[in-house]
Amino acid sequence: MTLSKPILTGLKADRFRHPLDLEATNTLKQIPGLDSLIRSLLAPVGEEYFYLEHISSSILVSDRQLPDFHQLLLDASRILDLEPPQLYIRQHPVPNAYTFAMRGKKPFMVVHTSLIELLTPEEIQAVIAHELGHLKCDHGVYLTLANLLVLGASLLPNWGTMLAGQLQAQMMEWLRCAEFSCDRSALLVAQNPRTVMSVLMKLAGGSPSLASKLNLDAFIAQARAYDAIDKTQLGQLLKEARTAELSHPVPVLRAREVDRWASTPDYQKLLQMGKIGYTGEVTSKGEWRNW
């Protein structure tokens, strides 16, 4: 299947960044010395460990290794006007994808095999585009710390564990807000909100045997029902308690945000400003949250 989509040459992150992401990032920037502390202390330990872990125990995608996935990465990067990072495929039973932006090394993203098994090629590309959104929005410094907290807090020394305890609530709040921007990045590449929402639906309750049977319209209706819960004070408090410890917003909320932004003039203008161009081929599913 040949895809032809607008190429968003010169795209700036602020053209699609979610306002909650901007607000949460500004809050973190106000913490004195946080940026330099992460760069000088946390990042080298965690980054080097995770880089070695994935280069030694995952598959690096290239034009010679799983070329269909490599083409999906190149096309998504081209649409977003971004230098493509490395892409690793990792054998893992939990559907997940994540990104590291490392000092002195090329950024890399990781996608678990169990996530690949759930998705179509177009949906896989939406996942890739979501991860590219972290790079486009320059989430790297805070994303490194967030990934250490979520994926490898046990690696931190004693002082790091104490630091994680002090910052964890703020970092998780930032990460949840950043995910909304990355979902918009996924939509800019997919250029079909149903593709992105379908990924979220499958993350919420999919399996290889159920994925083709799920009803996206019913899931969207479910998202609207979730909205209605916070019409009472108790409902709002329950929502806040439910999400406080999560690294990602709940899937129905993310689907609602994608659906809303897809109908805005801002999104339509971005696509209209894009240059129509050939962006490759998707020939098969191949072998493919915290997305």
Give the residue numbers marked as catalytic: 131
Query: Is the distance from CB of 244 to CB of 285 less than 8 angstroms?
Result: no
Q: How far apart are CA 217 and CA 131, in angstroms?
A: 25
Torsion angles phi and psi, residue 276, rounded to 5:
-65, 130
Q: How far apart are CA 97 and CA 255, in angstroms?
A: 17
Listed residue (289, 286, 291) closest to 66, CA to CA: 286
Positive or negative CA dihedral for 225, 230, 231, 233?
positive
Q: How far apart are CA 152 and CA 266, in angstroms?
A: 38
Q: What count of other Cβ atoms lies within 10 Å of the Cβ of residue 120?
A: 17
Locate 119 and state its tokens.
Answer: 């998705």
Q: What count of other Cβ atoms lies within 10 Å of the Cβ of residue 31?
A: 12
Q: How far apart are CA 95 and CA 118, in angstroms?
A: 8
Q: How far apart are CA 42 and CA 47, in angstroms?
A: 8
3-state secondary structure of 6: strand
Q: For residue 202, give every residue at least 6 positions away whose Cβ sits within 8 Å of its Cβ, in sequence order, or none.
A: 95, 118, 119, 123, 211, 214
AA letter at 123:
E
DSSP string, 187-233: HHHH--HHHHHHHHHHHHH--TTTGGG--HHHHHHHHHHHHHHTTSH
